[in-house]
Structure 1
Amino acid sequence: MNRTSLCIKMLLLLKARGKMNTQQLADELETNPRNIREFKKELITAGYNIKEYKGRYGGYRLDETNLFPVLALSPAQKQALMEAREFMHAQGYEKESELNEAIDKVLNSTSSALPPQRIYMDAPNLSMTDKEKDMMETMQQALKQKHCVLLTYQSRNQDHADTFLMDPYEIIHYHDAYYVLGYSHKRNDYRIYRISQERMFACVFQERKFLRDSHFHIEQYVGKNSLIKGEFVRVFVRVDPEVQPQFRELYWGMDMKEKDNVFQFLVEDFFVFYRQLFSFADQVEIIAPDHVRQAYQAQLQLILRKYIV
């Protein structure tokens, strides 16, 4: 088999099976493992994004979000569609249901349909086993590409584990643990599942895709009377463009969105929030809500008094 054929076959394998390591690919392609890295370079040159993961559970994975970049919507185009949906809802458009379905199809058929979901691996006091990290990676990949996962999970009130399909919607860090909020095909409802090897025994990426519900809002599932209990506040922060890459690397809260240098997210742990905010000095600014801005101002004033002679 010539080099071009091997590259194409490697592309098909990664698309069909998800993450594969060098030895697995070499065995399937009947070639030397040293050639796999060269095939990867050729595929990247051709425009395919082949991600490489290091470590014991490392390997290669095809980033399907960029398979057809010509179909990608710009952030402004995506925002225009979302605003059009809200405008027509406010106008009481009689064919709102059909419009929502049409917009969903457009968004779900493009690589930029939704902002990339983040895995927050920098949370203090939280360590994960290799198996948990692998399940987290699989969950994030399924979430980004809108694929179902086959989950094997045992709830607190069960004496055995169930295996079922789930559509992952959000990955949440809460009280030194990670959870996935998703739609259970078994329960026909949204459920919270803790990413822990004591409860989550397997998480397998599926070829089956799902259409994200346009009426889903995370605020419905966090708070005192929701699946995730707690006091959550949506905070808006203006961030200078030069520090935005560093800002995005940190975990600030759930449901992060950004537009015109303003980031918004749901905050539960304000001790961590204020501490991280302080590290950016005057390059970030809380713009809403007022009580959060005022609480941060009060803390800064207390610090300043210590240094005023």
Structure 2
Amino acid sequence: MDITKRFHRIIAIYFQLQARSVVKAQDLAARFDVSLRTIYRDMRALEQAGIPIYGEAGSGYSLTEGYKLPPTSFTKEEILSIAASEKLMQKFVDPDLFRHFCAAINKIRAYLRYSDKDNITQLEDNLVMGNSAFMFNENVPDALSILFESLSLKKVAAITYRAVHRDEPNQRLIEPVGIFHEGNYWYFVAYCHLRSDYRHFRIDRIQQIKRTETPFTKTHKPLSHYLEKRTSTPTTRVRIRVEKEFARYLQWDRLHYGFISEERKEDDIYMTFQARNIENEFARWYLMFADHAHIIEPEELKSHVRKIVSAFHL
């Protein structure tokens, strides 16, 4: 059993080496939940099998330039995941990036047996994803592609961006740090030359985008650093009581508003949040289901809700 497990791990390490220019031993150890010493032994096993690996313990490993094995066979589960991933990409990325993805997938399909191709077609014909056009500005179909390109090449991007609090868009030069999906939208973190600081942007608010040939002016930390910094912003503890029969409809949205935990009591669900913006964001979300819920705390949130309601002109 241990021999089989090690064999599969060594094969997986090889594919990691094929997929990346440099692979760190620490990352492999974390990925496979083994010690560094185990990874070093696995690397020696690959070298003894004739795989030309360049690198050393403590730094990074890579395959000698130009070395590749012939295409491998795919399992049934891997074959079906190709079809599923294509449908997911169609839903969650912009049209330009999806076009590039399809071109890559078609190259993989060229190596498949006819029976595997039939299995993919069968799944594709019976897998439907809902429309997600609201994630992107339809006039900017290549926003994700250009952001990825700008990030990988470390070249400044020029965007026309309409912030939520502005009626008119403005011009910005940015250095993209990373891209992430949250709630129903794509966001990215970038160093903004206009503000001389790091900012979060929403991709569907980009009106125009173009990659320049200007190199980055700064060395940026990993995306996780800026996301952790964002989560450290002050929050307010919120507790609400929601009717049990209605609470299920909030399971997905509540994660975007700082949901922490829930407790069931008789016919109600008591939910606890650490909300970043109770004055507008949380209060307006709460109004969407206020007839099925009650605010327990804080009183400040009740005041914000009443203020919004009093401004309605019916």
- Shorter-chain TM-score range: 0.3 to 0.5
Given the two structures, how large is their TM-score scaled by the length of structure 2?
0.38
- The higher radius of gyration belongs to 2
Which has a greater percent of helix?
Answer: 2
Given the two structures, how large is their TM-score scaled by the length of structure 1?
0.38
